[in-house]
Structure 1
Amino acid sequence: MIPQAPEQRRALIGEYVLGLLDEPEASEVRELIEHDRAAARMALEWEHHLLDLADALPAQQPSPALWQRLQQSLGWLPASGATEGGLRRWWNSLGLWRLTSAGLALLVLLSWLPGVLRDAPTGASYTAVLQVPGESARPGWVITVDGDGTLTLDSLVADSIPADRSVQFWTLVDPKDGPRSLGLIEPGKAVTLSAEQIGAVQAGQLFELTLEPEGGSPLNRPTGPVLYIGRAVLIAGS
């Protein structure tokens, strides 16, 4: 049951954003966010708050074991049964929360897109790694913005989405202006958007994918749960 007291409701929505709720409680909160403007605002505030906390933490150099585990989870290396138990314990440890979005973005970028820095146009270029909210160990999509402003969204996962739902791509520069839809995407498939469609990009800009009703959000803001979220990081230019 959804609590009526504002603070209790806010706490419950925070747990939902972090992915801590089980069904059917998560479904209840999802329904509330889709139809209640105040609840949707609370969810958005939680997303910004959690990302700000992650950004404030110092980046850490990943250990060889962590780097190997990241490569295995992305399919770059075969899984090792002998070390799986120890790696899982490390993977689930509190230390991983200290990997900021910027640090993880650069980590994936240097291995998965080695030519970006070398071949980027002269303008500023950016990258962002979109992760499952609250789980810095689960990158799902990588964004690159070339010097000419072209944005490419590439998938690292193959999610299964219900037939009556759509995945919508959003960006947010200033919370005062609110989020802006960048359209619907098909899970697992790359998307390229022009500079005219994206607009100016800056470091720290928020990007996210949300699960919405079929055909997209009925409002000019996200109404469904956040699937993946991350911030833009400057990688070349000024």
Structure 2
Amino acid sequence: MIPEAVEPRRALIGEYVLGLLEGPEASAVRELIAHDRDAARMALEWEQHLLELADELPPQTPSLVLWERVQQSLGWAPASRGTPADGFTRWWNSLGLWRLTSGALALLVLLSWLPGVLREAPVGASFTAVLQVPGESAKPGWVVTVDGDGTLKLESLVADQIPADRSVQFWTLIDPKDGPRSLGLIEPGKGTTLSAEQIGAVQAGQLFELTLEPSGGSPLDRPTGPVLYIGRAVLIAGN
């Protein structure tokens, strides 16, 4: 059963993002994220927090004994008894790593709630954001890149079929107190470029989303339709 109180619901969504839920409980949370805007944002906040936490961990080469156990856990046949570093890159990039470390990450995050994801960006910083179907981290649909001079490029990875009486609208959100800001209408399957003047300053953790709106766009100064794709900006380079 999904908790009504905000903090228990946030904690449950965090467990889902970490892959700690199974069966009907996982299905219930997945359904909630797909249809509830606040739940989707909570899931993205958890993903951002965990990515930041992982970035703080220095790379470590496992011992030979540990490396063999990792291979067995992931179902890899040990072709040779080479050094652990020989397969470390493959191990680090594997989805299995997240399964192995999810319990430890959950404990760290639950013991110490990380501060907000918004950070001051250095001058000339570059950002990227992968926009995904809400609650479906394996379904990227669009990629946002912001280069050092502030130009934003939105590129499509999918070719969605949108009803003729609907429009796709691009939004951004920095501070919930200020509310979302429209970045215009987007033609499905086709990218767009926006200038720094149109975008304004970008920060790590800034939210970008595409919503399905009535023809011509939302009649209000905020999204009114379902979220199609959503993601947060991540700092990739800074002077």
Distance 1:221 1:17, change over 3 A: farther
1:167 — aligned with what?
168
> Residues 17 and 212 from structure 1, CA distance in 2 versus in 1: closer, same or farther, beyond 3 angstroms?
farther
Larger Rg: 2
Which residue of the partner structure matches residue 44 of structure 2?
A: 51
Distance 1:220 1:182 in 2: 11
- Distance in 1 between the 2:32 and 2:162 partners? 18
State the Cα RMSD in Å: 3.3
4+ long deviations beyond 3 Å = 14-17, 58-61
- Partner secondary structure for residue 18 of structure 1: helix
Correspondence for 1:67: none
* 1:126 and 2:127 correspond: yes
Gaps of 5+ in 1: 1-6, 20-25, 27-42, 62-89, 99-121
State the shift of 1:128 in Å. 0.6
Give 1:176's aligned residue.
Answer: 177
Tell me whether 1:135 sits opposite 2:150 in the alignment.
no
1:28-54 alpha-carbon deviations (Å, 9 max, x no partner)? xxxxxxxxxxxxxxx443232121122
Instruction: Write out aligned runs for 1:1-238 (5 A).
Output: 7=4, 18-19=33-34, 43-57=36-50, 59=54, 95=99, 123-238=124-239
- Equivalenced residue count is 157
CA distance in 1, matches of 2:47, 2:165: 33
When normalised by structure 1's length, the TM-score is: 0.58
Paired with 2:32 and 2:145, the residues of 1 have a C-alpha distance of: 25
Q: TM (normalized to structure 2)? A: 0.57
Cα distance, 1:189–1:17 mapped onto 2, change above 3 Å: farther
Cα-to-partner distance string for 1:47-68 (whole Å, 9 max, x where unaligned)? 321211222335499xxxxxxx
Judge conservation of contact 1:17–1:225 (CA < 8 Å) in 2.
no
